[in-house]
């Protein structure tokens, strides 16, 4: 399910400035399109954005599709950010 949700990011990345608005749009897409909880969505994107420069984020938003490395990173971050199951 997490991988499917992250594939939905492609539609939102087509335009818009890098910043709070773009991040908020991605959070909403993960919630609405992927069924993730807000806290998990925010955690994933916070961790993804915090290790990238402004230039890397501009390139991320400028191109279509996710790289294999990005897909793997999103999946890993989704697992890291998900609440523990009992």
Q: Quick one: pLDDT at residue 68?
A: 92
* DSSP code of residue 9: H
Q: How confident is the model at residue 16 (pLDDT cuts 50, 70, 90)?
A: very low
Q: Which two tokens stand for residue 72?
A: 């793997």
Locate all alpha helices (DSSP H) within the chain, ordered by sequence.
2-7, 9-12, 20-32, 38-50, 54-62, 68-81
Say yes or no to pLDDT of 4 above 60: no
Q: What is the pTM of this model?
A: 0.72
Say yes or no to pLDDT of 73 above 70: yes
Lookup result for tokens 């984020």: 57
Q: Quick one: pLDDT at residue 2?
A: 53
Q: Which residue has the higher pLDDT, 40 or 66?
A: 40
Q: How confident is the model at residue 38 (pLDDT cuts 50, 70, 90)?
A: very high
């Amino acid at each position: 399910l997490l991988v499917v949700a992250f594939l939905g990011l492609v539609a939102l990345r087509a335009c818009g400035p890098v910043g709070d608005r773009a991040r908020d749009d991605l959070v909403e897409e993960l919630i609405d399109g992927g069924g993730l909880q807000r806290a998990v969505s925010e955690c994933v994107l916070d961790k993804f954005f915090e290790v990238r420069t402004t230039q890397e984020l501009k390139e991320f938003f400028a191109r279509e599709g996710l790289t294999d490395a990005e897909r793997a990173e999103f999946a890993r971050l989704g697992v890291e950010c998900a609440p523990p199951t009992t």
